[in-house]
Amino acid sequence: DTAVSQTPKYLVTQMGNDKSIKCEQNLGHDTMYWYKQDSKKFLKIMFSYNNKELIINETVPNRFSPKSPDKAHLNLHINSLELGDSAVYFCASSPGAGGAGTQYFGPGTRLLVL
């Protein structure tokens, strides 16, 4: 009955590989997000979807492609992984059309690129 879940929890891979991270929320929220937290714990938004539509696309390399098959799911696909992609990736969701209110975070996916 986890509210926001992510898979996998840990991901270790080689440079150049392609990988996907999945996120699901069972809160009935309309908006979902991907954040990246670097080694200094700085958290920055990458993407946001509202009802399957992309509403925020920060300055992120186009190797990162989000996909929202329905409003309960937001997946993140990363092509040609680089060392600098190593980070913790958090999915989050919020009710309503925007992110002005409370956001609910998943447990994170720890990505290590070797």
Partner 1 sequence: SQQGEEDPQALSIQEGENATMNCSYKTSINNLQWYRQNSGRGLVHLILIRSNEREKHSGRLRVTLDTSKKSSSLLITASRAADTASYFCATVLTGTASKLTFGTGTRLQVTL
| Of residues 26 and 79, the one with the C-beta less far from partner 1 | 26
Determine if 42 is a binding residue for partner 1 (CB under 8 A). Answer: yes
One of 7, 55, 60, 77 touching partner 1 (CB under 8 A): 55
Contact region with partner 1 (CB under 8 A), list: 17-25, 49-57, 62-70, 75-83: 49-57
**CA distance linking residue 37 with residue 31, whole number of Å:** 20
Q: Which residues lie closer than 8 Å to 41 by C-beta, 6 or more apart?
A: none
Reported residue count of the chain is 114
Does 69 sit behind a cis peptide bond, omega within 30 degrees of 0 on the bond before it? no
Interface contacts to partner 1, rule CB under 8 A: 4, 31, 33, 40-45, 48, 50, 55-56, 90, 92, 98-108
